[in-house]
Structure 1
Amino acid sequence: MTSEQRITLENAAKEAFEGMRAYHRSEIDHKRDAIAILTTVLAGNGGLVAAGFGALSRASAIGWGPIAIIAITVFATTAILVQKIMSATQKKIEADGNRYKEFRAQS
């Protein structure tokens, strides 16, 4: 192997390593962002639960029906929102993975 070939090979290896590192950094960033969003959603739900406890003291006046409907609505909305956040995060990670595969194929 000539020195020129070795330099070319070393440069290609460095470029591939940098691409791999960027891909992993991007994956970590996407997951961190999703965790931050989910934390915010769950904190908001904590506020709703606290408000719900206030309503429980007046449950006999309000009736259990409206309280149950609100609880089910909050649960369903949260479940759908969490699923959408997780799905969007996974799509971003997969898109980055596909770009990395293209980059790796070109190297």
Structure 2
Amino acid sequence: MADFSRLPGPNADLWDWQLLAACRGVDSSLFFHPEGERGAARSARENSAKEVCMRCPVRAQCAAHALAVREPYGVWGGLTEDEREELMGRARNRLITTSSGTPSRA
């Protein structure tokens, strides 16, 4: 079952940006991989999704949302699952370095 605990509450103002998204009306399968998709097919689909994101007026809000709730699936704000994971890992490593004063790995 999905874990909704990371999502913000039902305040419509927090979600208004989605009404302006370039992906509204676009088939969601462009942004979310089917089971077992790998390699060139996955790269091609992700690149097509990113093209939609690059012309989107709310791309920054979308990416920020996906990072804030640690969205595990799909392309959000022009970032793939792997790219978001890498960004979150870097941020985590910076926090560890800052709090300890010396670089370390989580």
**TM bracket, shorter-chain basis:** under 0.3
TM-score norm. by structure 1 comes to: 0.26
Greater Cα radius of gyration, structure 1 or 2: 1
